[in-house]
Structure 1
Amino acid sequence: MWRWHFYAGLIVLPILALMAVTGALYLYKPEIEALLYPVHVADTSKATTLPPSRLIAAVGQGAGAQATQIVRPASTAESWRVMTKVEGGPSTIHFVDPRDGRVLGVMRGGGIMKTVKDLHSLALTGPVGNRLVEVVAGWAILLCVTGLYLRWPRRGQPALAIRGRASGRLFWRDLHGTLGFLSSGVILFLAVTGMPWTDVWGGGLRAVVAANDWGRPKMAVIPWSAPAKDALPWTLREGGGAAGGAGDIGVDEALRIATARGMGGVQLILPATPGAPYLAASIVTKAQDARAITIDAASGAVVQDMDWRMFGPGAQAVEWGIATHQGQQYGEVNRLLMLAGCLCLLLLCLTAPLLWWKRRQQGRLTTPPAASPAARRMVAGLMLLIGLLFPLTGLSMAAALLGEWIMGRSA
């Protein structure tokens, strides 16, 4: 356990530290965006708001680009958002005062929080980064399990204790072990619930959910465009909208229909191609808020109204995990707990190399001694289980084992 805890740390510590920092920042996305962009306006609950089509037209006059969606926030003290996109370029969000159509400001390419999110998911490196996140999440699970085993209370070794002085190794070992023991449950939860965002494991899980109709009725579909996928709950992203006839009821009528169906804060995706429907997706805070309505653009008929109650148990579990992972499901307590997990993870990443530096022998960083046969069997079983559950992590484990064998042969 000790040996493989050491290897897991060497492999993933830098990326885990990056994910801890960016994850902590992303928990406060609404507050950060409100500081940087004109999110807030005077309360418009008693004021007359312009029709959505007027807001889109006001944006179009200045942007010279086609609108792809409009967002009506749940709060009347927030500006509306109109997204435009030029072919081949990044999207731009325009913050609009719904009372007079004034464009208050813009956010290009998703803004600073999109950068934070891309760093958190390593999306900046493309498909390779997404697969690396999957590998790291699997190793993080291994770190949590092996760390718990190492710190589990034994005779003469309490789970929670900080002894010695800061200049000694015992102090840092206790600090690292105590932090890990207290936070391992939250870190393990974050690692597991982060898996659905990955391409290989998460994509496979979405395909299984869709293939078994765990929450999405079958329908003749045309695939969703990228903006629509981003707006949808995780469970519904593998689907699409029913193809309709020629014609367009207009954005005002589409939003009226969504409102009549009880939707408050709503993200309305405009048809990307002729015959495509309008998609109205609720702005989700809790998992139970997940809802999506497809509206035939030609007739205004509601083709499908999909909500949390239609999801199967597996899909509900994933949606709940995502909302809790993002600190939204249970209010501020939930967010503070996830923040504590991120901060503890960062401290573990900082104390681990210092701890291993202090245990070096003759100026060299050495691996822990080999474990007993019983511990080896336990580790082998654990690695096999994690490797089967998360195949990319399993491949990296095989590579690490091969590397250890080669080093052993050359020693």
Structure 2
Amino acid sequence: MTRDSLYRAIWRWHFYAGLIVLPVLALMAVTGALYLYKPEVEAMLYPVNAPAHAGQAQLPPSHIVSIVERNTGAKAIQLLRPAADTENWRVTVRTAQGDSDVNFVDTFNGRILGRMRNGGAMQVIRDLHSLALTGPVGNRLVEVVAGWAILLCITGLYLRWPRRGQPALAIRGRPGGRLFWRDLHGSLGFASAAVLLFLAVTGMPWTDMWGGGLRAIIAANGAGRPAMKVNPWAPQVKAALPWTLREGGAAAGMPGDIGVDAVAGIAARRGLASGYMLFLPASPGAPYLVSAITTRANDARAITIDAASGAVVQDIDWRMFGPGAKAVEWGVATHMGQQYGEANRLLMLAGCLCLLLLCLTAPLLWWKRGLSTPPPASPGALRVVAGLMLALGLLFPLTGLSMIAALCGEWLAGRMRRAWFPFRPGRTMGGG
């Protein structure tokens, strides 16, 4: 097996990986970039910012909740108290039709300033990004795509690695020429590979199969968070919790309700006076849950309060997380551009834009090559690459199954090609 043959084999599978996942990666790049700016987009679309009320006192939470319930005729399930007084509070209700409506409320006079249905525009963006619109199938497809994206990054780095006087970062040739587009694609990929690899790996915890398995492994090795002494939460509650706090279950408490004002007071005495989501009991005996609105991973906080007695059942924060839980929470917060402020967000935005450009330049480069596939490689080189793919598949089983299917398809195509064109001359390595 020669180096040129290995290069052709890796080039071939880099090409196939792109054909398989580029449309989905382009969708993820666009939606991911938009979701990085969720606060700004929501502030443009909904009455997020509060009117000025100099010298006035805010209404207690119970008044806010009762006003919303009276005006909507629906039961409140969640109260969001922002960290800044310059933002309106949000009360979420569950309608008779099963919809989730967020009401933006002026906390100084109780006026409902606007509504957001089922998470609004940004929930649509999030569902597109995670392919949640297609249900469990989409969630598993995300896992497959992320695994192929990792293969794209690894093979792309190899193909663009400096050799024989070819620089990793260079734009040569005239605009519109094949060399120009090959260099543009290769330089973008090489420069952004680390960020794209990070996004692919840290996106995996959101998947049901791989992410659920990771949670189980972390918990089994004592590297997770303390077990939550709460009832299993509804999906909208779980989505608001830190990633490692989304499991748990315990028997319900005694009937009774101390009220939302008392719960807010308990949270305030424990240092959580604002910047939290307060989940009301879903049924008699269920507890209250107060969860901090997290920006950085180490902001994670969840306080469970018995509705009948007001006793704090559990108060979990970042310091109680094990190393596995901390690593995952850090990865999630950094993936969302939150952990290190604006610089973090801009870096993730750059990764999304580079990914989109790679998805656009790849088919154009293919067209420049006359829509031809990369030349076949020697059987030995193909076996080496197949082994590397299967090793990656062991880490990401769903991706591995798709890779086995792709390898079988390549083997079958090769048998058919040799049967139909036994004397077809091979092509020399050309790159791109």
TM-score by length of 2: 0.91
How far off its partner does 1:371 sit? 3.2
Once residues 55 and 152 of structure 2 are traced to their aligned partners in structure 1, the CA distance between those partners, rounded to angstroms, is 54
Alignment match, 2:182: 173
How far off its partner does 1:70 sit? 0.2
How far off its partner does 1:44 sit? 6.0
Residue in structure 1 matching 2:388, options 382, 390, 406? 382
Alignment match, 2:82: 73
How far off its partner does 1:372 sit? 4.8
Residue in structure 2 matching 1:367, options 359, 369, 373? 373
SS in structure 1 of the partner of residue 315 of structure 2:
strand
TM-superposition CA deviations, 1:283-325 (whole Å, max 9, x none): 0000000010000001000010001111111110000000000
Residue in structure 2 matching 1:247, options 236, 256, 262? 256
Paired AA for residue 288 in structure 2 = Y
Greater Cα radius of gyration, structure 1 or 2: 2
Cα distance change of structure 1 residues 45 and 12 upon mapping to structure 2, 3 Å threshold? farther
Alignment match, 1:64: 73
How far off its partner does 1:26 sit? 0.2
Once residues 180 and 309 of structure 1 are traced to their aligned partners in structure 2, the CA distance between those partners, rounded to angstroms, is 38
Could you tell me the percent identity over the aligned residues?
72
Alignment match, 2:339: 329
Alignment match, 1:31: 40
Alignment match, 1:267: 277
Cα distance change of structure 1 residues 402 and 303 upon mapping to structure 2, 3 Å threshold? same
Q: Contact 2:62–2:261 at 8 Å: present in 1 too?
A: yes
Residue in structure 1 matching 2:399, options 393, 396, 402? 393
TM-superposition CA deviations, 1:56-75 (whole Å, max 9, x none): 11111111110001010001
Once residues 96 and 388 of structure 2 are traced to their aligned partners in structure 1, the CA distance between those partners, rounded to angstroms, is 49
How far off its partner does 1:121 sit? 0.4
SS in structure 2 of the partner of residue 223 of structure 1:
coil
Cα distance change of structure 1 residues 10 and 304 upon mapping to structure 2, 3 Å threshold? same
Once residues 300 and 214 of structure 1 are traced to their aligned partners in structure 2, the CA distance between those partners, rounded to angstroms, is 30
Once residues 234 and 45 of structure 1 are traced to their aligned partners in structure 2, the CA distance between those partners, rounded to angstroms, is 39
Q: Contact 1:140–1:191 at 8 Å: present in 2 too?
A: yes
RMSD, aligned α-carbons = 1.5
Residue in structure 1 matching 2:325, options 300, 303, 315? 315
SS in structure 2 of the partner of residue 294 of structure 1:
strand
Once residues 149 and 122 of structure 1 are traced to their aligned partners in structure 2, the CA distance between those partners, rounded to angstroms, is 30
Q: Contact 1:242–1:277 at 8 Å: present in 2 too?
A: no
Alignment match, 2:428: none
Once residues 48 and 344 of structure 1 are traced to their aligned partners in structure 2, the CA distance between those partners, rounded to angstroms, is 48
TM-score by length of 1: 0.96
Q: Contact 1:53–1:251 at 8 Å: present in 2 too?
A: yes
Residue in structure 1 matching 2:245, options 236, 240, 243? 236
Once residues 54 and 393 of structure 2 are traced to their aligned partners in structure 1, the CA distance between those partners, rounded to angstroms, is 54
Residue in structure 1 matching 2:414, options 397, 402, 408? 408
Once residues 206 and 52 of structure 2 are traced to their aligned partners in structure 1, the CA distance between those partners, rounded to angstroms, is 36
Residue in structure 1 matching 2:49, options 37, 40, 47? 40
Alignment match, 1:133: 142
Once residues 173 and 334 of structure 2 are traced to their aligned partners in structure 1, the CA distance between those partners, rounded to angstroms, is 37
Once residues 123 and 51 of structure 1 are traced to their aligned partners in structure 2, the CA distance between those partners, rounded to angstroms, is 37
Paired AA for residue 403 in structure 2 = M
Alignment match, 1:108: 117
SS in structure 2 of the partner of residue 298 of structure 1:
coil
Q: Structure 2 unaligned segments of length 5 or more: list them.
A: 1-9, 418-432
SS in structure 1 of the partner of residue 334 of structure 2:
helix
Q: Contact 1:43–1:78 at 8 Å: present in 2 too?
A: no
SS in structure 1 of the partner of residue 124 of structure 2:
helix
Q: Contact 1:242–1:303 at 8 Å: present in 2 too?
A: no
